[in-house]
């Protein structure tokens, strides 16, 4: 960024007139070579396979989470006595829905972020090899 | 309730918000700061700001009130609100940041290369924003009546006017700091009083009245919801979150895709901690104030509980804290919504000038204010749930298919959004009109997400398949841009 930061002087004010409709890309380098590599036929195969693996990952995590979530009420309905079971005076239902679900959400999110980053790292390795 | 406490709390929140807005304004004065805070906001700050914007009247007051009325069934609300962010993380966060668009209409235009699809999206975003502001203003009306005894409309007008002034004068330039502060204020305001109440209960032998059953299966007020309603509600909340305009706009303050994901992860943690507390209020409320469910306004539970159980000065102080937290919730959500709605209106209809933005901001505070003054709500969490159902039936399919499916065309997107809007909106209005006469269809109409979301997806996919020739020419480039990761470190020239 070429902002003049003269010591003791605040940066110049700039009048902003209209919101830009396109945010600038992340400032990290995005070399032409890679742009070209991604547009090539081989590059497109890589991109498609990245998209597919990310989508598969997202769907697997989402479906897994929803199945467990769905299992909670079914468990309560089908296991006799669970509805009346208590832990420290608090019914099991309340513990499960009021507290227990949240660690499950956190765990799913953490697993997803880890694997998604790994997919992207693998893609970057492939593309850079190809360049 | 002591009216002086109420006035002090409300004026305090307004003053602190203005102060941070002003102070932050002096730090941030470059062009990049004006747009999304230079994209240099740390994930923790950003996550706090998202939490601040997201936790609205429905979360702060509504969830506890609903638990008071319908018991364990209401626990699905906070689960849905939180899990909605999981869906946002899985399907939207990183690709949307990489798209480089500031708003959902921008995304539509970039992805579909169609001004018509953009206009429909803008219209829906404005509608969703307005519908979402209305419950905030109604929450403010309720709070001001309880806190100060003034007529309810004063609360709605005060919030609308304060938000309008801050947005119009540009005080929202430091919005990230204001919103982040308001998240922590809300968390403190809801956590400290209930912890005090629990400590007092444990120490001084404030025993649960013998008749009360805090965990009773049967609801205190309304009839039990039933499986269909719960499932439909969870679908609405899960898929509605990822289309909320004021939430999505915050993702551009992340420098890149991975940090957008990290931010979402932190948001999930913050929300999980926050939602433990409304649940506690609900449970304690069922023990000590079950009368509120049938006679008064259950949404006032959070405001009244500390004062009822802790007498004297301590009770007053805690009450002031919850009132402050409630107003932080109304202010932050409303201003986030007004900013994003005004941005869309000014850009698409008024030429994108600053004057236009200000005009649009006034307009987008006044329209929901009018609606809020004319209508009346009994359940904040319920009416916000319907907004989520509407978003899930319109904007959610657009984003999901736009990000993940090459085949989406502009015709498909328009048809799907319109179908979702008509089905979901129509069914909610029909259910309001029919009331109890709807009979067995009542649940299907009152909580339409379970069928209107799949219907919108089906229409969008079907019409896109029929108009294959309308796929944008640059689809390959767009998909690459959405999904290819940024380079972690700038590579040396080769």
Residue A3: which of B30, B79, B493 has the nearest Cβ? Answer: B30
CA–CA gap between residue B217 and residue B109 (Å, rounded): 49
Task: Compare CB distances from B486 to A28, A39, A73 and report the shortest one's residue.
Answer: A28
State residue A4's pLDDT score: 44
**pLDDT per residue over B148-198, tens digit each?**
878 888 888 988 988 888 777 765 556 677 788 888 988 998 888 888 888
For residue B404, give the nearest of A23, A39, A55 by CB distance.
A55
The stretch B273-298 carries a mean pLDDT of 82
Helix (H) or strand (E) holding B196: helix B175-203
Q: What is the pLDDT of residue A105?
A: 92
Is residue B417 assigned to a domain? no
Answer whether A62 sits within 8 Å of B215, measured CB to CB: no
- Mean pLDDT is highest, among A18-22, B18-22, B160-164, B274-278, for B274-278
Residue B201, pLDDT score: 77
Q: Do A28 and B490 touch (CB under 8 A)?
A: yes
Q: Does the distance separating the beta carbons of A94 and B102 come in below 8 Å?
A: no
* Domain membership flag for residue B455: no
Bin B76: left if φ > 0, else alpha if -120 < ψ < 50, else beta: alpha
Per the CB < 8 A criterion, the answer to whether B240 and B391 are in contact is yes
In the predicted structure, residue A43 carries a pLDDT above the cut 60 = yes
Give residue B432's pLDDT band: very low, low, confident or very high (50, 70, 90).
confident
Percent above pLDDT 90 for chain A: 20
Q: How far apart are CA B461 and CA B470, in angstroms?
A: 13
Can you tell me the mean pLDDT for B437-465?
Answer: 85
Inter-chain contact B256–A91, Cβ cutoff 8 Å? no
A1-10: list long-range contacts, CB under 8 Å, 24+ apart: A1/A27, A1/B32, A3/B30, A10/B29
* Residues of chain A contacting residue B90, judged by C-beta atoms under 8 Å apart: 58, 61-62, 112
Q: Does residue A130 belong to the interface with chain B, where contact is any CB pair within 8 Å?
A: no
φ/ψ of residue B101, rounded to 5: -85, 145
The verdict on residue B440 lying in a domain is: no
Helix, strand, coil % (nearest 5) of chain B? Answer: 80, 0, 20
pLDDT at position B36 is 47
Asked if pLDDT for residue B78 goes beyond 80, the answer is yes
Confidence of residue B221 (pLDDT cuts 50, 70, 90): very low
pLDDT tens for B53-77 read 888 888 888 888 888 888 778 888 8
| C-alpha pair distances (Å), B423 with each of B224, B244, B420 | 25, 19, 5
Residue B466 lies in a domain: no
Domain that holds residue B80: 3-231+245-376
Q: Say if residues B188 and B320 touch (Cβ distance below 8 Å).
A: no
Contact B484 A58 (CB under 8 A): no
pTM of the model: 0.84
Q: From CA B151, how far away is CA A31, in angstroms rounded?
A: 62
Most confident range (mean pLDDT) of A126-130, B104-108, B417-421, B443-447 is B417-421
Q: How confident is the model at residue A55 (pLDDT cuts 50, 70, 90)?
A: very high
| pLDDT tier at B427, thresholds 50, 70, 90 | confident
Q: For the domain that residue B101 is a member of, what is the CATH number?
A: 1.20.1730.10
Total domain count for chain B? 1
**Is residue B184 situated within a structural domain?**
yes
> Which pLDDT score is estimated for A91?
75
Residues 6+ apart with CB under 8 A from B107: B96, B99, B101, B399, B402
Contact A26 B89 (CB under 8 A): no
The arithmetic mean of pLDDT across residues B98-111, rounded, is: 84
Q: Which residues 6-35 of A are in CB contact (within 8 Å) with B? A: 10-11, 13-14, 16-31, 33-34
Question: Is there a contact between B74 and B233 (Cβ–Cβ < 8 Å)?
Answer: no
Set of chain A residues whose Cβ sits within 8 Å of the Cβ of B227: 73
Q: Convert B224-250 to b/e letters by CB count within 10 Å (16 or more is b).
A: ebeeebbbbbbbbbbbbbbbbbbbbbb
How do the domains of chain A map onto residue ranges? 33-130
Cβ within 8 Å of B, A 53-92: 54-55, 58, 61-62, 65, 69, 73, 83, 90-91
User: Is B484 close to A50, i.e. CB distance below 8 A?
Assistant: yes
Is B275 contained in some domain? yes
B173 to chain A: closest CA residue: A16
- The string of pLDDT tens digits covering residues B314-355 is 888 888 888 888 888 888 888 888 888 888 888 877 766 677
**A:B CB pairs within 8 Å:** 167
In this structure, is residue B35 part of a structural domain? yes
């Amino acid at each position: 960024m070429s902002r003049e930061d003269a010591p003791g002087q605040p940066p110049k004010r700039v009048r902003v007139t209209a919101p830009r409709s396109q945010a600038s890309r992340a400032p990290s380098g995005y070399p032409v070579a890679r742009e070209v590599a991604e547009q090539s036929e081989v590059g497109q195969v890589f991109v498609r396979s990245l998209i597919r693996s990310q989508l598969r990952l997202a769907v697997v995590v989402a479906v897994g989470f929803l199945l467990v979530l769905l299992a909670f009420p079914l468990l309560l309905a089908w296991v006799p006595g669970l509805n009346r079971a208590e832990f420290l005076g608090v019914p099991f239902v309340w513990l499960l829905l009021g507290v227990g679900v949240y660690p499950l959400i956190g765990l799913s999110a953490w697993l997803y972020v880890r694997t998604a980053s790994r997919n992207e790292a693998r893609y970057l390795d492939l593309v850079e090899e190809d360049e | 309730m002591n009216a002086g406490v109420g006035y002090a709390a409300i004026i305090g929140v307004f003053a602190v918000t203005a102060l941070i807005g002003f102070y932050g304004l002096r730090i941030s004065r470059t062009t990049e700061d004006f747009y999304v805070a230079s994209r240099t906001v740390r994930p923790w700050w950003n996550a706090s700001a998202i939490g601040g914007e997201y936790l609205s009247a429905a979360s702060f007051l509504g969830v506890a009130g609903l638990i008071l009325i319908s018991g364990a069934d209401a626990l699905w609300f906070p689960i849905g609100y939180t899990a909605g962010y999981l869906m946002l993380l899985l399907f939207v966060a990183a690709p949307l940041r990489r798209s480089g668009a500031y708003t959902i209409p921008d995304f539509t235009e970039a992805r579909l290369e169609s001004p018509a699809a953009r206009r429909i999206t803008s219209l829906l975003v404005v509608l969703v924003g307005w519908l979402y502001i209305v419950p905030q203003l109604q929450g403010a009306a309720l709070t001001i009546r309880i806190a100060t005894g003034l007529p309810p409309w004063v609360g709605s007008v005060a919030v609308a006017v304060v938000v309008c002034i801050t947005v119009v004068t540009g005080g929202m330039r430091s919005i990230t700091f204001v919103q982040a502060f308001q998240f922590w204020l809300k968390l403190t305001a809801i956590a400290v009083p209930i912890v005090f109440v629990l400590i007092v209960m444990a120490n001084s032998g404030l025993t649960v009245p013998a008749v009360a059953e805090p965990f009773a299966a049967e609801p205190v007020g309304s009839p039990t919801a039933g499986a269909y309603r719960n499932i439909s509600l969870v679908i609405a909340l899960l898929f509605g979150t990822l289309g909320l305009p004021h939430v999505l706009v915050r993702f551009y303050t992340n420098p890149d895709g991975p940090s957008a994901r990290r931010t979402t992860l932190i948001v999930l943690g913050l929300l999980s901690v926050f939602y433990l507390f409304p649940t506690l209020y609900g449970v304690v409320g069922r023990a000590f104030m079950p009368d509120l469910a049938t006679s008064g306004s259950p949404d006032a539970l959070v405001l009244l509980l500390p004062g009822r159980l802790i007498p004297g000065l301590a009770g007053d102080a805690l009450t002031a804290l919850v009132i402050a937290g409630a107003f932080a919730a109304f202010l932050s959500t409303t201003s986030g919504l007004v900013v994003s709605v005004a941005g869309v209106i000014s850009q698409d209809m008024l030429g994108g000038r600053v004057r236009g933005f200000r005009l649009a901001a006034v307009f987008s505070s006044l329209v929901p204010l009018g609606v809020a003054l004319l209508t009346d709500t009994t359940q904040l969490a319920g009416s916000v749930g319907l907004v989520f159902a509407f978003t899930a039936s319109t904007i959610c399919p657009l984003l999901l298919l736009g990000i993940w499916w090459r085949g989406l065309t502009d015709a498909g997107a328009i048809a799907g959004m319109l179908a979702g809007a008509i089905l979901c909106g129509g069914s909610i209005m029909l259910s309001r009109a029919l009331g109890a006469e709807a009979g067995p269809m009542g649940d299907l109409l009152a909580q339409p997400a379970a069928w209107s979301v799949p219907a919108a997806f089906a229409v969008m996919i079907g019409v896109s398949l029929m108009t294959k020739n309308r796929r944008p020419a640059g689809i390959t480039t767009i998909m690459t841009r959405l999904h290819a990761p940024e380079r972690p470190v700038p590579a040396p020239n080769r």
